[in-house]
Protein backbone atom coordinates (compact mmCIF):
# COMPACT_ATOMS: atom_id res chain seq x y z
CA UNK A 1 0.00 0.00 0.00
CA UNK A 2 2.87 2.37 0.74
CA UNK A 3 4.42 1.77 -2.69
CA UNK A 4 1.14 2.74 -4.35
CA UNK A 5 1.17 5.99 -2.39
CA UNK A 6 4.78 6.66 -3.40
CA UNK A 7 3.89 5.96 -7.02
CA UNK A 8 1.09 8.51 -6.89
CA UNK A 9 3.34 11.02 -5.15
CA UNK A 10 6.04 10.53 -7.80
CA UNK A 11 3.44 11.06 -10.53
CA UNK A 12 2.17 14.23 -8.83
CA UNK A 13 5.71 15.59 -8.54
CA UNK A 14 6.36 14.74 -12.20
CA UNK A 15 3.19 16.50 -13.36
CA UNK A 16 3.89 19.60 -11.25
CA UNK A 17 7.51 19.81 -12.39
CA UNK A 18 6.54 19.58 -16.04
CA UNK A 19 4.43 22.72 -15.71
CA UNK A 20 7.01 24.52 -13.56
CA UNK A 21 9.84 23.91 -16.05
CA UNK A 22 7.86 25.65 -18.79
CA UNK A 23 7.97 28.90 -16.78
CA UNK A 24 11.74 29.07 -16.30
CA UNK A 25 13.23 32.02 -18.15
CA UNK A 26 16.88 30.90 -18.02
CA UNK A 27 18.18 30.48 -21.61
CA UNK A 28 20.42 27.63 -20.46
CA UNK A 29 17.32 25.63 -19.57
CA UNK A 30 15.20 26.56 -22.60
CA UNK A 31 17.27 24.65 -25.15
CA UNK A 32 14.65 22.35 -26.63
CA UNK A 33 11.63 20.22 -25.86
CA UNK A 34 11.95 19.31 -22.16
CA UNK A 35 10.14 16.33 -20.68
CA UNK A 36 10.28 14.74 -17.26
CA UNK A 37 10.59 11.02 -17.92
CA UNK A 38 10.59 9.75 -14.33
CA UNK A 39 10.70 10.86 -10.70
CA UNK A 40 11.96 8.70 -7.87
CA UNK A 41 11.38 10.15 -4.41
CA UNK A 42 12.82 8.63 -1.27
CA UNK A 43 10.43 7.13 1.27
CA UNK A 44 10.72 10.11 3.62
CA UNK A 45 10.26 12.59 0.72
CA UNK A 46 13.48 14.42 1.56
CA UNK A 47 15.04 13.85 -1.87
CA UNK A 48 13.68 13.23 -5.33
CA UNK A 49 15.72 12.17 -8.34
CA UNK A 50 14.24 13.76 -11.45
CA UNK A 51 15.10 12.31 -14.86
CA UNK A 52 14.93 15.00 -17.53
CA UNK A 53 15.04 14.37 -21.26
CA UNK A 54 15.59 17.16 -23.77
CA UNK A 55 15.01 16.77 -27.48
CA UNK A 56 17.22 19.21 -29.39
CA UNK A 57 19.74 19.70 -26.59
CA UNK A 58 22.65 21.92 -27.62
CA UNK A 59 24.88 21.88 -24.52
CA UNK A 60 24.18 19.32 -21.79
CA UNK A 61 26.65 20.80 -19.31
CA UNK A 62 25.10 24.29 -19.52
CA UNK A 63 21.60 22.80 -19.32
CA UNK A 64 22.44 21.00 -16.09
CA UNK A 65 24.07 24.15 -14.66
CA UNK A 66 20.89 26.08 -15.45
CA UNK A 67 18.72 23.46 -13.76
CA UNK A 68 20.91 23.43 -10.67
CA UNK A 69 20.83 27.22 -10.42
CA UNK A 70 17.03 27.21 -10.74
CA UNK A 71 16.58 24.33 -8.26
CA UNK A 72 15.61 26.65 -5.39
CA UNK A 73 12.92 28.33 -7.46
CA UNK A 74 11.67 24.97 -8.76
CA UNK A 75 11.52 23.54 -5.23
CA UNK A 76 9.63 26.57 -3.91
CA UNK A 77 7.09 26.38 -6.73
CA UNK A 78 6.74 22.63 -6.20
CA UNK A 79 6.02 23.18 -2.51
CA UNK A 80 3.38 25.76 -3.38
CA UNK A 81 1.64 23.49 -5.88
CA UNK A 82 1.68 20.26 -3.82
CA UNK A 83 0.59 19.76 -0.24
CA UNK A 84 3.36 17.55 1.12
CA UNK A 85 4.83 17.50 4.59
CA UNK A 86 8.29 18.01 3.11
CA UNK A 87 9.17 19.46 -0.24
CA UNK A 88 11.89 17.17 -1.56
CA UNK A 89 15.31 18.41 -2.53
CA UNK A 90 15.57 17.85 -6.28
CA UNK A 91 18.46 16.00 -7.88
CA UNK A 92 18.39 16.27 -11.67
CA UNK A 93 19.70 13.55 -13.97
CA UNK A 94 19.88 13.84 -17.75
CA UNK A 95 17.97 11.00 -19.43
CA UNK A 96 18.96 10.29 -23.02
CA UNK A 97 16.55 7.40 -23.63
CA UNK A 98 14.20 9.38 -25.91
CA UNK A 99 17.11 10.66 -27.99
CA UNK A 100 18.54 7.15 -28.17
CA UNK A 101 15.17 5.75 -29.30
CA UNK A 102 14.90 8.44 -31.96
CA UNK A 103 18.37 7.52 -33.25
CA UNK A 104 17.42 3.84 -33.43
CA UNK A 105 14.22 4.70 -35.34
CA UNK A 106 16.28 6.73 -37.80
CA UNK A 107 18.64 3.80 -38.38
CA UNK A 108 15.72 1.43 -38.94
CA UNK A 109 14.12 3.86 -41.38
CA UNK A 110 17.36 4.13 -43.36
CA UNK A 111 17.66 0.34 -43.48
CA UNK A 112 14.07 -0.03 -44.71
CA UNK A 113 14.63 2.58 -47.41
CA UNK A 114 17.83 0.82 -48.45
CA UNK A 115 16.02 -2.49 -48.79
CA UNK A 116 13.28 -0.93 -50.92
CA UNK A 117 15.86 0.63 -53.27
CA UNK A 118 17.43 -2.73 -54.05
What average pLDDT does range 21-38 have in this prediction?
87
Counted domains in the chain: 1
> Could you list the residue range(s) of the whole structural domain that residue 44 is in?
2-117
* CATH number for the domain that contains residue 25: 3.30.300.20
pLDDT at residue number 1: 42
Q: Whole-number mean pLDDT of the chain?
A: 87
pLDDT of residue 2: 52
Degrees to nearest 5, angle at CA 11 with 10 and 14: 85
pLDDT computed for residue 115 by the predictor: 62
Flag whether pLDDT at 69 surpasses 70.
yes
Contact present, 90 and 48 (Cβ < 8 Å): yes
Amino acid sequence: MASNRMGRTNDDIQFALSSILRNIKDPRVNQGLISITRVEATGDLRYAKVYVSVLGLKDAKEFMKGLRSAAGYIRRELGASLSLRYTPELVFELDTSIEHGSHINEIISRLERGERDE
